[in-house]
Amino acid sequence: MNKFTATLLMAATVVASSTAFARPAPLVSIPTHDTFFDKIKAHCGKAYEGKVTVDNQGPSAFSEERLVMHVRRCNEQELQVPFHVGKDASRTWIITKTGSGLSLKHDHRHKDGTDDASTMYGGHTVDAGYNTVQSFPADQYSKELFIAQGIPQSVGNTWQMFIYDEQFTYRLVREGREFRVDFDLTKPIKAPKAPWGYKD
């Protein structure tokens, strides 16, 4: 191999290497996570009314107020789903494809849009789940947040979401605690205004 050929080969290798690093990594996922994500995404732009169907701690603001979920913003990686409790628009569920599963976070804001002291808690999938059901055990950030806030019982939280043709369910479970809201997907309603901290 002469010097000219060697130089060309080296240049080609450098270009190929640079191209490989410049190409964005694909967002990998598995079929059950993709299908679950896409089933919720199919409702993008729509809002639905729900009701508390299980609460083993008795009546609360959730059972006394109008409950509305709004699949408000969607792209290939993230879903933003505000959860309105009466006039309280402080909560937004954020479901994200992370490349190693799905993440669920609870974005809590004050009316002026600033972060609540308890915000962005949630969890990450630890298994394949199902096309229609995914579970999100509390992640480390959330566990430390709960301990710092004096609610160590919440360290055992697992959030679940179910998505069927006619119903979406949000469920919280831990030892001694179960809370569940079911939303009727057969009757879309007028979408509410943007949640606190977001803009229409």
Rounded CA separation 149/36 (Å): 32
Concatenated DSSP letters for 163-187? E-SSEEEEEEEETTEEEEEEEETTS
Q: Where are the domains of the chain?
A: 29-184
Average pLDDT over residues 2-29: 54
Average pLDDT over residues 53-63: 90
Q: For residue 134, what are the CA distances in angstroms to 6, 16, 115?
A: 54, 40, 27
pLDDT digits (tens, 9 = 90+) for 112-154: 999 999 999 999 999 999 999 999 999 999 999 999 999 999 9
Q: Is the pTM of this model over 0.85?
A: yes
pLDDT at 3 over 70: no
φ and ψ at 64, to 5 degrees? -100, -10
Convert 135-145 to b/e letters by CB count within 10 Å (16 or more is b): bbbbbeebbeb
Rounded CA separation 97/32 (Å): 12
Average pLDDT over residues 27-36: 93
Q: DSSP E strands: which ranges in the chain?
A: 47-55, 67-70, 73-74, 78-85, 88-97, 102-108, 121-124, 133-137, 158-163, 167-174, 177-184
CATH T-level fold of 29-184 = Lipocalin (2.40.128)
